[in-house]
Amino acid sequence: MNTETSTFPLSLDDLHVSFGGNRVLEGVDINFVPGFNGLIGPNGAGKTTIFNVLSGYVKASRGAAFLEGKDLSELKPTDRVSSGISRTFQSPKLILDATVMENVLLGMHHRFKHGHVTELFRLPNHRSEEDRAREICMDMLEEFGLAEDAHKETGDLSLGSQKIVEVCRALVAEPKVLLLDEPAAGLGADDVTVLLKGLRKFVDEQNLCLVIIEHDLELVTSICPIIYVLHFGRIISEGSAEVITSDPTVIEAYLGKGYAPESNDGEGGSDAV
């Protein structure tokens, strides 16, 4: 990889993935920047597979990913979280019979200084650390309008709220890079507004690098200054909303010939952020 990698929060270099004989990613090169980065493309294009490689669940057959220039290839999934990569899933992966607070606390696990002995005997150090962690999680839930649900069983929340709980769990890990896999799918308009406002705050205040996979094109084009279009495992276009929505290759492969890019006039969802 060239020396440029270290200047980006997250870089993909010539990433290849195959499942059996099925080539799913074929030479993906992306330098993600701080702020909102969009990743779009048809079903089966390989978008979630990119996240799975970044989280360490899927091994690249060729190429590598770099976090601030550091090769991630040999890191286990848990070490990637402590290095600064957090994610959410297309279908939320939460413990449904645990409370919302308990699920969010899991995101802070690697930040706990004291080990299992203090935990086992509930020594003072452990208790004060846990109290502090609960405060941080509560603040996060408050930020995303879910403080009142903190002590509810997670399975009792709507799917939209569960997706926001997952975002909270990812954010309490204090990531440098946050990967969101279709965060707005299943959310009502009000929830989307709350979600985007919260995310905007972290992007602005902590220079977070956020990569968002989303099929809602209006949403992606309204919040992401740069968007990557993946098709059959290759990046076929990249650039601003205007660039990718007027790119004939993208119209042919994804948007459809009848696509008229009227959503680029700043109307609609962009008000939220």
Ligand X SMILES: Nc1ncnc2c1ncn2[C@@H]1O[C@H](COP(=O)(O)OP(=O)(O)OP(=O)(O)O)[C@@H](O)[C@H]1O
Q: Which residues are at the interface with Mg ion (CB under 5 A)?
A: 48, 90
CB of 65 to Mg ion, least distance (A): 17
Strand partners, 10: 32, 67
> Is 34 in contact with 9 (CB distance < 8 Å)?
yes
Handedness of CA 244, 249, 254, 256 (dihedral sign): positive
Does 19 bind ligand X (CB under 6 A)? Our answer is yes
CB of 205 to Mg ion, least distance (A): 29
Q: List strands edge to edge, sheet with 177-181.
A: 85-87, 177-181, 209-213, 35-40, 226-231, 234-239
Q: How many helices (H) and strands (E) does the chain have?
A: 10, 10
CB of 42 to ligand X, least distance (A): 7
CB of 224 to ligand X, least distance (A): 17
The C-alpha torsion from 81 through 84 and 88 to 90, rounded to 10°, is -90
Nearer to ligand X, 23 or 200 (CB): 23
| Identified binder of ligand X from the candidate list 7, 44, 96, 159, rule CB under 6 A | 44
Does 92 bind ligand X (CB under 6 A)? Our answer is no
Does 245 bind ligand X (CB under 6 A)? Our answer is no
Does 163 bind ligand X (CB under 6 A)? Our answer is no
Alpha carbon 240 to chain centroid, angstroms: 20
Does 24 bind ligand X (CB under 6 A)? Our answer is yes
Nearer to ligand X, 134 or 234 (CB): 234
Residues making contact with ligand X (CB under 6 A): 19, 24, 41, 43-49, 90
